[in-house]
Amino acid sequence: MENRLTKWHDAYIQNAYHELKHGTTRKQLETLNINATGKRVLDVGCGPGNLLVALSTDAPELLIGVDIDETFLVFGRSQIQKSIAPPSAVPTLLRASLPTLPFADETFDLVTCFLVMPHVPDDTVALTELARVLKPGGTLAISGHGLGFPLRYLKRFRLKPLQMYLASLIYRCTGKKWIRNTLQNDRKICDLLESIGVVPAVRHYNQKILGCVATYWVKAIKNDTNPKTMQ
């Protein structure tokens, strides 16, 4: 992938750091009752590192962010150098992508993966990989977009919402992600999590538009009984 800051990257970074500065990112963690103190933490799809900056103030034992997009990582590293100093934990940012994370089984106490699920090729495969690197009893926190999300953008980007609905319909009918940015039914995501032994504990929505969830957050706990060790 080309390492170039596009208009889209720039807009995303501005918004992400605006939310960080105004406490929205911290509030999301608090709503899910997430505290990283003393934990081994991985943020998957960390983008420009906004969530890592928020998590670093909890002083985790280990803090790693991975993303598929080197452009975000380059920005994130320089931002982290400017804004984080010990005693806050200084995160390491690596290029890696779902569904193949370069970590051993059961490495982390907390895995966060915010707004990445709409972009992964297959939900089950991605969630299974996130669960693999999580210790038994560890916490997985994810978020994504539901059917209400594109309604916000109907006026500004007329074709984009239609594309998102079409992509989501195709995914539901065929199991194939035609373009990234699919919308998700958070109940199905919770069922999927449960089926792989990661039990949802907290579910939260920002708002419903015409009765449809725009953005959802789920915190789930990996079962202590690991089927691998029981075989």
Ligand X SMILES: C[S@@+](CC[C@H](N)C(=O)[O-])C[C@H]1O[C@@H](n2cnc3c(N)ncnc32)[C@H](O)[C@@H]1O
**Minimum CB distance to ligand X, residue 150 (Å):** 14
Tokens of 84: 């984080």
Q: Residue 28 to residues 56, 83, 91, 120, 188: CA-CA distances in angstroms?
A: 15, 20, 19, 22, 21
Is 97 a residue that touches ligand X (CB under 6 A)?
Answer: yes
Is 182 a residue that touches ligand X (CB under 6 A)?
Answer: no
Residue whose C-alpha is closest to residue 144's, from 177, 114, 167? 114
**Minimum CB distance to ligand X, residue 38 (Å):** 23
Task: Single out the residue of 32, 39, 63, 69 in contact with ligand X (rule: CB under 6 A).
Answer: 69
- Cβ nearer to ligand X, comparing 54 with 221: 54
Task: Single out the residue of 58, 67, 106, 186 in contact with ligand X (rule: CB under 6 A).
Answer: 67
Q: What are phi and psi of 36, to 5 degrees?
A: -100, 5
Is 123 a residue that touches ligand X (CB under 6 A)?
Answer: no
**Minimum CB distance to ligand X, residue 68 (Å):** 4
| Cα–Cα distance measured from residue 49 to residue 86, given in angstroms and rounded to the nearest whole number | 17
Instruction: Give, as ranges, the residues between 37 and 66 that touch ligand X (CB under 6 A).
Output: 44-47, 50-51
**Minimum CB distance to ligand X, residue 229 (Å):** 27
Task: Print burial letters for 189-218: b (CB count within 10 Å at least 16), e (below 16).
Answer: bbebbeebbbebeebeebeebeebbbbbbb
Residue nearest to ligand X according to CB distances in the complex: 47
Size of the site for ligand X (CB under 6 A): 18
**Minimum CB distance to ligand X, residue 195 (Å):** 21
Parallel, antiparallel, or unpaired: how do β-strands 108-114 and 92-95 relate? Answer: unpaired
Half-sphere exposure of 107 (CA within 13 A, CB side): 16
Contacts with ligand X by CB under 6 A lie at 16, 44-47, 50-51, 67-69, 72, 97-98, 114-116, 119-120
